[in-house]
Structure 1
Amino acid sequence: MCKGLSSLPSTCLEKAKGMRVKLSHLADTHPKHRLQDVKTPQDLETLLNNKTALQAFRGFLRSEFSEENLEFWLACEDYRVSPSTLQKTKAASIYSQFINPDAPQEVNLDAETRETLLSTMDSPCANTFDKAQQGIFSLMAKDSFPRFLRSHHCMEAIKAF
């Protein structure tokens, strides 16, 4: 022990030890210092329901030039909860943006799904895009999401948490 501390009364030394324990406990429990306790999303559905994780995933997909999959999925979610009066307009927009073979953000769908969607564009309903949306969700869950979990985008999101 250093000379300066030995001259302090024992009650002060006990209080200092107690303070050190409390301060170290606070440092251990502060969110920025608990990186090992931060949980990464265990599945894509959890990620899509978390605003911060969703933004990190979007950044990752943008870096891989596959952001259209997420944008399509989000557009379908928005479409599903839209009033029926707006469905035809929104359906046409989704089709031209993501489904049409010349679409600026064309998603990878099989020919049968594309044909089915084309045939329903005259009278779309709330579940018009369900099969296509599920296909893109599966693609992201099996392909993009596992790579995202191993990416620096995911690590940075965890650090920011």
Structure 2
Amino acid sequence: MCKGLATLPATCLKSAKDIKHKISFLLQKPEPQTTDQKQIKEKTAAAAAANRAPTSAEVEKWKESFNHVMSSTMGRTVFTNFLKSEFSEENMDFWVACEDYKRTAPSMLATRAKQVYQQYVEADAPNEVNLDAATREETRQNVENACPFCFEGAQKMIYTLMEKDSYRRFLNSKLIQDLRQTQTTGAREKKKKNCDWAESRQVLTGGA
């Protein structure tokens, strides 16, 4: 140790070492994974969707097919609200968890697969989804050798269940009827405002 450092109090030297250690840690800290960034963007988009009303074009698309509902952030948000009213939101939660799982880093696949399985698939899971015995057993075996697609069969089954069952009721639900009513009223008010503006313009321009 040089003479200058030797004359410093021990507490100062310790603080300097602590600062050096923290700087080294920050420099070595890895950048967030692309997967994490994508998930953050998706959650941000979902939050934004929850704070706005769907457009008439979106609602009309949802009526065409269940795929349009599931491929839309707003569609999934509205459909999830409907599932909550039927106490079956675990189906959407599981489907979303499977989509997130596919983007999990390879080093975390085994851990995440076990979490998803214990949360949604195994018998008496906290948010158990409705799977037949064969699919449940197949999924259990897949989880033992986790890969990005070990929930593929179970996810497809729940997707089909939502499409054939919940989606049909969703289209005839009060939720959709209220959305359509709101949009119809909004369209009428907009049309009336446009007419009023046109009449006012004619008065101001002398009927030209």
Say whether the fold is shared (TM-score over 0.5): yes
Higher relative contact order (CA 8 A, sep 6+): 1
Distance 1:111 1:36 in 2: 40
Distance 2:142 2:178 in 1: 42
Q: Which runs of 5+ in 2 are unaligned?
A: 1-52, 187-208
Are 1:84 and 2:106 matched, yes or no?
A: yes
Q: 2:148 aligns with which of 117, 123, 126?
A: 126
Matches within 5 A, 1:48-67: 48-67=70-89
TM-score (norm 2): 0.57
Q: Report if aligned partners of 2:142, 2:151 keep a CA contact under 8 Å in 1.
A: no
CA shift in 2, pair 1:83/1:142, >3 Å: same
Residue identity matched to 1:54: R
Residue identity matched to 2:168: P
CA apart distance, 1:155: 3.0
Are 1:113 and 2:106 matched, yes or no?
A: no
Are 1:155 and 2:188 matched, yes or no?
A: no
Q: Secondary structure at the match of 1:134?
A: helix
Q: Which residue of 2 aligns with 1:20?
A: none
Residue identity matched to 2:118: S
Residue identity matched to 2:177: M
Are 1:39 and 2:74 matched, yes or no?
A: no
Distance 1:36 1:54 in 2: 15
Q: Which residue of 2 aligns with 1:25?
A: none
Q: Which runs of 5+ in 1 are unaligned?
A: 1-31
Q: Report if aligned partners of 1:87, 1:125 keep a CA contact under 8 Å in 2.
A: yes
CA apart distance, 1:36: 9.0
Runs of 4+ in structure 1 deviating by more than 6 angstroms, as ranges, are none
CA apart distance, 1:122: 2.2
Count of matched residue positions in the alignment of Structure 1 and Structure 2: 129
Q: Which residue of 2 aligns with 1:70?
A: 92
What do residues 51-88 of structure 1 show as CA deviations (whole Å, max 9, x unaligned)?
A: 22211111100010110111111100111122211211
Distance 1:102 1:45 in 2: 30
Distance 1:150 1:53 in 2: 15
Distance 1:40 1:157 in 2: 13
> Which protein shows a greater Rg?
2
Q: Secondary structure at the match of 2:60?
A: coil
TM-score (norm 1): 0.72
CA RMSD of aligned residues (A): 2.4
Q: Which residue of 2 aligns with 1:144?
A: 166
Q: Secondary structure at the match of 1:139?
A: helix
Distance 1:35 1:156 in 2: 12
